[in-house]
Structure 1
Amino acid sequence: MTPQLTDKYMVTIAERLTSAYARIAEAAQNAQRNSNDITLLAVSKTKPVSDIMAAYEQGQRQFGESYVQEAVDKIAQLATFSDIVWHFIGPIQSNKSALVANHFDWVQSVDRLKIAKRLNAQRPQEMPALNILIQVNISAEDAKSGCAAEEIDQLAQFISQCSQLKLRGLMAIPAKSDDANTQIQYFEQLQTCFDKLQTQYPHIDTLSMGMSNDVEAAITAGSTMVRIGTDIFGTRT
C-alpha cells in the first residue's frame, strides 16, 4: 500500500527542499560552479516513510540512511518506487554487512578492508555493482569513523578489483566548526586526496562532503554531493 501523505508534510518538506536547492545554487554560483554538478542527498534517517514520500513527491530521489534495520524496513515499504536511490552513510557492523549489500545502491562509509571484502562477497551476483565511497577521517578524530588519508590507496586498490563493487570516490564528516575558513581547510584536504585518487582511477566522480551546517564551505572546496537532513526533515527526535 502506498503511504498516505498529509498537507503538513507536503508543504513543510516541499518548502525546505526548495530552500535547500536554492542554497546549493547560491553556493555554487558564489564558487563559480554549476549547481547541476552537485547532488543533494536527503538524509532521512530516523524519519518516517511519510517524510520520504513527501520529498519524493517533490522530485527528490536520492536518500541517505544510517541505521541498517530501520533503513531495510523503509526500503521494503517503498519497494514499488524503483527510481529511489538508497545510500548507506553510517558505520557498518560486520553482522549487518549482508543487509547493506543486499538492499542499498550506494555505501558511503567503507573505511576498512574487512568491510569491503564482506560487501563484495555478499552483494548478489544478479544485482548491479554496489557503488562505494571510501570514508576518510580527514580531521583525525579518535572517536570518528573513517580511514586515515594514507590508507586510501590500499583500500581503493582492493575495491577497484572487486567484481561486485564500483569505486566512485570519497566521503568525509570533518570535525564540527562554526568557522568557515576551518571548514574549508578540512574540505580542501579531502579534495586533494580526491584529486590524487582520480589520477589513478579517472572514472571516480563523487566527492561527498558537506551537511546542513557547512554546505557553502563544502561546495567552495569542490563537493559533488552534499548530505542534508535537518534542513529538509527538521531536527531528529
Structure 2
Amino acid sequence: MRLSKLMMACAMCVVALAGSAQTKVIAHRGYWKCEGSAQNSIASLTKAAEAKVYGSEFDVQMTKDREIVVNHDDSIQGICIFDTPFAGLKALKLSNGETLPTLDDYLETGKKLADIQLILEIKPHRTKEAENEAVKIIVDKVKKRQMEKQVEYISFSMNICEQLVRLTPDSEIAYLKSDVVPEDLKAKGINGIDYYVKVLAEKPEWIAEAQRAGMKVNVWTVNDMEMVREMIDRKVDYITTDYPLETGKLIQGN
C-alpha cells in the first residue's frame, strides 16, 4: 500500500515538473532581424544557433524537377517555384546576397549546429500527389543524414501531416492551421499543435488539453511582448517569434 502511494506521488511529481517546464524560443524563418541576415537564409539559421534559441523555423517548396528549396512563398522574384526547374532558380539572390538555398544546404549546415532544432515547415502544394512526393523526398533527405531527432516538422496541410506520421512516426509533427481540437490530431498520430496566437488566446483550454494528451504546444508568430508574456503564463512549450532575443529575455525574467 505504501509503495502504491509512493509511486502515485512520484507520478504526480513528474506531471507537475512537465507542466512547469520553461517555454522555449523558436526563431521564425531564422534570426533575420540583424545585420547580414535574411529570412530563410543560411545566415539566419547560423545566427539563430548563435543566439542559443531552441529552434530555427524555415519553409520549403518543391521545384518542377523535384528539388526542395528553402523559401516561404510559392514564388520568388515573380517566378513560380513549382512550375520552374531548379536551374532557373539557383542563381536568384536573397536580400543578404545569398543564393536561394536548397534543403540539402540547410541540412548540411544544420547538422554542424547540433544544439539547435530545425523546425521544417512543408508548404501545401498544388495537389495531394505533389504533397506526397515532396514529403517522401524531404523525409528521405533527413533520414539519409540521420537527423531525425534534430528535425521537427510542421505544416498547414493535414495531408502532409498524415504523410509524415506514415513515413516518420517517431518525429515531432505539428499541425499549423489552428482549426482542429488537440484530441482529434492525437488520434491521427500528430503529436503537436502549432497554432496562431490569437486562436490560443481565445481558446486557452486547447493548451491544457494538448499537454494533458502528451502533445507539445507551439504558438506563432508572437511579436507583441504583452502577448509573449501571456503565452509564457499559459505555459506553452514554444513561442515562434521574429524577436527571439527579446522573447528569450522575457522568458528568463519570468
Mapped partners of 1:210, 1:50: distance in 2: 20
Q: What are the within-5 Å matches in structure 2 for residues 165-204 of structure 1?
A: 167=191, 169-174=192-197, 183=198, 186-199=199-212, 201=213, 203-204=214-215
Shift in alpha-carbon separation, 1:209–1:67, aligned structure 2, 3 A: same
Unmatched segments (≥5 aa) in structure 2: 1-18, 31-38, 62-68, 71-101, 126-130, 143-147, 246-254
Shift in alpha-carbon separation, 1:189–1:77, aligned structure 2, 3 A: same
Deviations 1:196-216 (A, max 9, x none): 3444x2x22434345223423
Matched, 1:67 2:60: yes
Deviation beyond 6 Å, 4+ runs, structure 1? none
Give the number of aligned pairs.
164
Mapped partners of 1:90, 1:205: distance in 2: 18
TM-score by length of 2: 0.52
Matched, 1:39 2:24: yes
Query: Does the Cα contact within 8 Å between 2:210 and 2:216 map onto a contact in 1?
Result: no
TM-score by length of 1: 0.55
Shift in alpha-carbon separation, 1:99–1:230, aligned structure 2, 3 A: farther
Determine helix, strand or coil for the equivalent of 1:223.
Answer: coil
* Rg larger for: 2
Unmatched segments (≥5 aa) in structure 1: 1-32, 138-147, 161-166, 175-182, 233-237
Residue 41 of structure 1: CA displacement?
0.4
Is the helix fraction higher in 1 or 2?
A: 1
Query: Does the Cα contact within 8 Å between 1:63 and 1:85 map onto a contact in 2?
Result: yes
Query: Does the Cα contact within 8 Å between 2:55 and 2:119 map onto a contact in 1?
Result: yes
Compute the RMSD of aligned alpha carbons: 3.2
- The sequence identity of aligned pairs, in percent, is 10
In structure 2, the residue matched to 1:96 is 134
Mapped partners of 1:173, 1:90: distance in 2: 17
Query: Does the Cα contact within 8 Å between 2:40 and 2:58 map onto a contact in 1?
Result: no
Q: What are the within-5 Å matches in structure 2 for residues 75-154 of structure 1?
A: 75-89=107-121, 91-93=123-125, 94=131, 95-102=133-140, 103=142, 105-109=151-155, 111-112=157-158, 114-123=159-168, 129-137=170-178, 148-150=179-181, 152-154=182-184
Amino acid at match of 1:97: V
